[in-house]
Amino acid sequence: MSPKRHHLIYTGLLAGIPLLFLAAFFFWPLANILRLSVTAVGVEVVLVRPYFRQTLWFTLWQAVLSTGLTLLMGLPAAYLFARYTFPGRSLLRALTTVPFVMPTVVVAAAFRALLGSQGLLNQELMLLFDLARPPLRLDQTIWIILLAHVFYNTAIVVRLVGGFWAHLNPRLNEAARTMGASRWRAFREVTLPLLRPSLLSASLLIFLFTFTSFGVILLLGGPMFGTLETEIYRQYVNFLRPDIAAVLALFQIVFTFVVMMVYTRWQQNTAVSLDMRAEKANLKRPTTWPEKIAVATIMGGLCLFLVTPLLALVWQSLVDRDGNLTLAYYQALSEARRGSVVFIPPLTAVRNSIGYALLTVLLAGSLGLMTTVALANPTAVGVARWRAWADPLFMLPLGASAVTLGFGYVVTYSSLRTSAALVLIAHTLVALPFVMRSLLPVMQSIQPGLREAAAVMGATPGRVWREVDLPIIGRALLVASVFAFTVSMGEFGATSFIIRPNSGFLTMPIAIARFLSTPGGALNFGQAMAMSVILMAVSAAGFIAIERFRYADIGEF
């Protein structure tokens, strides 16, 4: 057999299994949603009833408003990190990213802990002014939803816009100032046009994330507010109308893919050659009093906005209704209470989530590794053409909402409707793009000469992989594993369709959502806070590990 034919078969076998997985558990469920939406009477119902037009309108305008507010919050922070160095800069920059890696149920729990009717701020105001009722009524209002969205997505602006801003040559701005332009005019006519590609890219991403927001809307908005995501869930689970849910899901799929297509096309068409500089060369210490005041104000505002909800979450898990320190909520996680909103001890849900996460690491890691090896194989026949369509193909699950995937699973695999296997498949599909984008840049960076030298010296293909490739991608593989573990631990959208409250396969996010959505009872609220703290700690530890083990800052997340 010729070497070219051998490599072609090798690449085909490596890519074949992931392609079959994608076909069975991504394209086939989406095809079933399309079939159900086309053949169902739900199309007429959705088009005729004003309620669904209002749902679509709310989904759109809350996403636009959330995007604008996030930019308003994130741009000062992006400027701070792009132009100034100060004590604690690295820690604060990492802190801005922590909310983005938090599961949505943890973000919802954190804002309930701070701003809810039982929240820390209301408790303090009632104590301070001797009030009988909470003065802040933010539960199930648009304001708490918007605050949570801004909290969750500020990291996108800091990372994308701030990262690009940090490398712009400041002499362009200085030249405009020398020619008589004011500070504002120099920013408007020089800096802002250069930042426009990164600003629009960040805006599209934030819009996509808030348009497909599920956990935040469901847990903080309640029945008062509904987006396409929450309405798909309610129509299927509460009203038993899979036909209407399918029509809404189809619209969701089309719209999110259009936004993703615009985003990728924009990135390709707006690439320009600029005089970029190293980030450290652009940083300076604040010297004048206005600079010091501005830096201190932005730092203080960021810390207050990003840290306070998380601290409130921890505090609420450690105090009882009378304000006394206690570990009762954590101790109650091991108990199966009579009349509880979950039918298993909450600690079992913790163990279930860890088990799912470990299996997701194994399955998503294996599929991702096979795919990236095939994509990065420099000797494969037609490798450029293969990469051109295969790489975007495997990234498609990133553009589909987890809610749509979960709905597709329950209408496609009815025999697995409440099985643990379907939960694992959903978690694997959601985690797979993160695994691939962690591994592929490192795999492609390996010099072919290293493999060729090892082969010339008599090493078999297996030994070349073991002694050349594996040591280089080892850290990237660890990062990919952490991504898969963290994503699985916090997955809520797809799992909410598959797992029922009386299931023994309950996960932490589902249990937290049940505790938060059940009114009354300090114990329910306290257990939700305790489980959220555990999930927050796991997510934060995962983020720290990713930042620590990332291979030379290579990777796309």
Beta-carbon neighbour count of residue 27 at 10 Å? 14
Q: Indicate the class that CATH gives domain 57-220+293-316.
A: mainly alpha
Rounded Cα gap, residues 463 and 455, in angstroms: 9
Residue 478 binned pLDDT confidence (cut-offs 50, 70, 90):
confident
The residues, ordered by sequence, that sit 6+ positions from 502 with a Cβ below 8 Å of its Cβ are: 343
Q: Which residue has the higher pLDDT, 550 or 275?
A: 550
No. of helices (H) and no. of strands (E), the chain? 28, 0
Rounded Cα gap, residues 417 and 422, in angstroms: 7
User: Phi then psi for 84, rounded to 5 degrees?
Assistant: -125, 145
Dihedral Cα 29, 432, 202, 165, nearest 10 deg = -170
On whether the pTM is more than 0.75, the answer is yes
Beta-carbon neighbour count of residue 416 at 10 Å? 15
Report the largest interatomic distance among the alpha carbons of the chain, rounded to a whole angstrom: 86
* pLDDT, mean of residues 459-463: 63
For residue range 146-178, list pLDDT tens digits in order: 999 999 999 889 888 887 787 776 776 667 667
Residue 228's nearest CA partner among 244, 240, 204 is 244
Residue in the block written with tokens 């797979």:
432
Distance separating the N- and C-terminal Cα atoms of the chain: 40
Q: What is the per-residue pLDDT for 258?
A: 79
| Residue ranges covered by each domain of the chain | 57-220+293-316, 326-557
Q: Residues 87, 292: contact at Cβ < 8 Å?
A: no
For residue range 43-71, list pLDDT tens digits in order: 777 777 888 889 999 999 999 999 999 99
Rounded Cα gap, residues 359 and 364, in angstroms: 8
Q: Is 437 helix (H, G, I), strand (E, B) or coil?
A: helix
Residue in the block written with tokens 């996403």:
63
The DSSP symbol for 518 reads: S
Dihedral Cα 384, 386, 389, 391, nearest 10 deg = -90
Same fold: 57-220+293-316 with 326-557:
yes
Q: What is the per-residue pLDDT for 340?
A: 66
Rounded Cα gap, residues 528 and 321, in angstroms: 14
**The domain 326-557 is classified under which CATH number: 3.30.413.10, 1.10.3720.10, 3.40.50.300, 3.10.580.10?**
1.10.3720.10
Rounded Cα gap, residues 473 and 466, in angstroms: 11
The DSSP symbol for 221 reads: I
CA angle 218, 222, 223 (to 5 degrees): 110
Residue 247's nearest CA partner among 416, 58, 56, 423 is 56
Q: What is the per-residue pLDDT for 391?
A: 67
For residue range 385-423, list pLDDT tens digits in order: 556 666 677 777 877 788 888 888 988 887 777 678 899
* pLDDT, mean of residues 186-212: 83
CA distances from 282 to 85, 169, 275, 279, 382 (A): 9, 7, 13, 6, 43
Rounded Cα gap, residues 228 and 422, in angstroms: 23
SS3 content of the chain, % helix, strand, coil (to 5): 80, 0, 20
- Take residue 174 and report the two structure tokens written for it: 């200085």
The residues, ordered by sequence, that sit 6+ positions from 437 with a Cβ below 8 Å of its Cβ are: 395, 555, 556, 557
Rounded Cα gap, residues 44 and 37, in angstroms: 10
